Amino acid sequence: MHSQVGCFKMEDNEIHFVYPISWITVSPAFTDFMTKLFKEAKKDITIADFASGEHDRVPSFFIRHLPRLLGLQDESIGKVYVYSIDLHSLRLDSLLGKHEESHLLDRARVVRAKIESMDQDAAMRPAMTEFIQEHPDTAIWLDDFLIEENRFPPECFDLGVLNNDIIGYMLEYYQTHSDVIVGLQKVRSSIRTGGLLAVTMPCSLYVLNNVAALEKSGFEFLEGFDVDLSTKEVTFVEKDAEPGTMSRLGHYTLLLFTAK
């Protein structure tokens, strides 16, 4: 069941077209969580874009635009570092080139890893490592750990993103449903307890109960939203909503979970 929230109005309306992930700011839980993180003194905010491919919109949004949308312009606020994680080297190298053109390499990272084994094997692309070594002032603790250990440590991210039905993509990639759960459990172990996971456009490729799969993997459903892109009307998505009602044509659906 969907219950109406209302119409969401934003001063910079075109940002929704360029960065669909920007609809995440309709969530009070998300904005409260991120505002608190930004205001923590000298806090480095770490975000994972799992199975990112070569798409640069998630890191660009969180690094460049989110603080402004939250009304945080102070230079003393925490800095966002986004780690794009994917198995395909060519996609990551393409993404790294986009980050270089956009002057985002000081905050955006590209890491080759399988989701199900990223706690054992994860490596920055060589050009990424080279950039950090040439600009050591841009490195944070997680960069140092990755370069030295070639893996992600437990609970290293504040926020994780599964963008554009990644769980459906995983269902296609893995042979069995149980393998999907293993991958999602590794996603959970990489996000700190109390951190958030954002799932966008669930069921747009494959109709799968994302809520059930994630709750089996150590997450708790927090809230969900559906946006009618033609009217900008925003409605709540309930925990027990039918998967087939999500991410319909002309809609943008977002689910938020807490790492238990």
- DSSP β-ladder status, 108-112 and 123-124: antiparallel
Q: What is the pLDDT of residue 73?
A: 75
**What are 98-121's pLDDT values in tens digits?**
999 999 999 999 999 999 999 999
Instruction: Please check whether residue 199 is in contact with residue 255, taking contact to mean a CB–CB distance below 8 angstroms.
Output: yes
Q: What is the pLDDT of residue 8?
A: 46
Residues of the chain with pLDDT under 50: 1, 6-10
**What are 24-42's pLDDT values in tens digits?**
999 999 999 999 999 986 7
Q: What is the pLDDT of residue 169?
A: 87
Q: What is the pLDDT of residue 102?
A: 97
Distance between CA atoms of 97 and 135, rounded to whole angstroms? 17
Residue showing tokens 């606020």: 77
Domains contained in the chain, number: 1
Domain that holds residue 125: 2-259
For residue 40, give the DSSP letter. S
Q: What is the pLDDT of residue 12?
A: 56
Q: What is the pLDDT of residue 41?
A: 66
Instruction: Please check whether residue 168 is in contact with residue 203, taking contact to mean a CB–CB distance below 8 angstroms.
Output: yes
Q: What is the CATH number of the domain that holds 231?
A: 3.40.50.150
